Structure 1
């Protein structure tokens, strides 16, 4: 039986509770039999995997590999995943680089099947690297089953790190953020954009994201938003604005609006 994370409150108060207890809850969650069975198997067998075809043929390994990047729903799309992995992430024509969701490029880059003669699965630390990501993502998902806002907040730091590691230019980092659906969702809410914002021209979206970040955080550099202080402010804004948009909790929204005006 998998340990279910405890999230007794919603909104920013719930986040503060989760933040205080996350390390202990993660440790307990990671010891769940359903998690350890897969992670032990991954650690034991991934070093023998040398091709994308080898990986997609082993469902248990593929489950951990995809789960580490939040791509669990692609477990049955083996032809698509094989192509993503085989084409790598370096070439501009690689399928992973043509997709709007930047998680596929991160996934392909992490395994290196299409980028190097010897894939990264041969590295001694590779299993632990992917398992750490897998455990974190599965914990996020378990939290999200109770409160999806909490899941998005937990995802902020790791997702920002992936974006910043993937490209060096500020505009490129913003575009990558915009292509990461969970991360983008958090930014849109925290910065006060409406649901129709995604329909406008992509370059205009970039300009507005940067302008709103400058007004809110005093910088339009995405790398600056990765600081602990700015991440905490981002999460607070996200939680409060999300609560305000919840029309079913009028009194809670009133309190959230009052707090938001103080930021």
Structure 2
């Protein structure tokens, strides 16, 4: 079985071609076609939630597949939108919900919310990326973590964001070789910043070196292991379930104070 670093480098050698092959898988192609043919006909939150096939596709594309059952929760996210800084989505530590409300912004655009590219082809592209990452994780969860970190990296602007997302936290802990899921948040941020400058995540070359280091360290700690049970849970649960309660409270306080 290829090591984590070998698999990660193989996928990234021609990521465009890898994504194309993923999009051509029969199930992926079929679901994508249905979504593209029908999403523009969705005019309201009620219609969006009522079409299970559309809704499940959208949730998976947004990395929220395991929350598909929570329609009342998602309805609140969509109804309040993101324009009000005190809206439900903006109050949540997990940024995926804000991103979801922005992608399907019924609160702002009403019936035209599904006509934008982000709600159409953009969602299909995100779905294909999710399928690729999950498939890589079946062979080696270290590769899935690396691909996820790579995808999220350009949107990370603050060190605290590495603590707020369970999967990003796992990568960071592996890189530093320390536990950061509890303890004083300022101390943990300082420990991270000694070795990781989040501005470097915007540089593809520096990000590539960082993830090469991560996959190498992952392989040392868990040689060619799928670790399917534990790591998969990092993607399946809301942030609130994957981060220590004290740390979560500290992160939320920082968020509320505008830091």
Relative to the length of structure 2, the TM-score reads 0.77
In the alignment, which residue of structure 2 is the partner of 1:243?
A: 219
In the alignment, which residue of structure 2 is the partner of 1:224?
A: 200
Q: Deviations over 1:181-231 (max 9, x none)?
A: 22222222123323xx21112333222222221xxxxxx3x2332211111
SS in 1 for 2:135: helix
- 1:73: Cα distance to partner? 0.8
- 1:104: Cα distance to partner? 1.5
Establish whether residue 103 from structure 1 lines up as the match of residue 88 from structure 2.
no
In the alignment, is the contact (CA less than 8 A) between 2:56 and 2:68 conserved in 1? yes
In the alignment, which residue of structure 2 is the partner of 1:121?
A: 114
Runs of at least 5 residues in structure 2 that lack an aligned partner in the other structure? 226-259
Q: Deviations over 1:52-78 (max 9, x none)?
A: 222111111111211112111112111
CA separation of 1:87 and 1:236: change in aligned 2, threshold 3 A: same
- 1:116: Cα distance to partner? 4.0
In the alignment, which residue of structure 2 is the partner of 1:255?
A: none
- 1:119: Cα distance to partner? 5.0
In the alignment, is the contact (CA less than 8 A) between 2:43 and 2:112 conserved in 1? yes
In the alignment, is the contact (CA less than 8 A) between 1:111 and 1:120 conserved in 2? yes
In the alignment, which residue of structure 1 is the partner of 2:186?
A: 203
- 1:93: Cα distance to partner? 2.2
CA separation of 1:239 and 1:67: change in aligned 2, threshold 3 A: same
- 1:123: Cα distance to partner? 2.1
Runs of at least 5 residues in structure 1 that lack an aligned partner in the other structure? 1-7, 165-169, 214-219, 250-263
Higher relative contact order (Cα pairs below 8 Å, separated by 6+ residues): 2
SS in 2 for 1:199: coil
- Count matched residues: 225
- 1:160: Cα distance to partner? 1.9
CA separation of 1:52 and 1:78: change in aligned 2, threshold 3 A: same
- 1:138: Cα distance to partner? 1.1
In the alignment, is the contact (CA less than 8 A) between 1:55 and 1:62 conserved in 2? yes
In the alignment, which residue of structure 1 is the partner of 2:50?
A: 57
Relative to the length of structure 1, the TM-score reads 0.76
SS in 1 for 2:46: helix
Aligned pairs for 1:75-90 (under 5 A) are 75-90=68-83
- 1:97: Cα distance to partner? 2.4
Q: Deviations over 1:62-102 (max 9, x none)?
A: 11211112111112111111111212123232222232322
Establish whether residue 27 from structure 1 lines up as the match of residue 20 from structure 2.
yes
In the alignment, is the contact (CA less than 8 A) between 1:160 and 1:177 conserved in 2? no
Establish whether residue 48 from structure 1 lines up as the match of residue 41 from structure 2.
yes
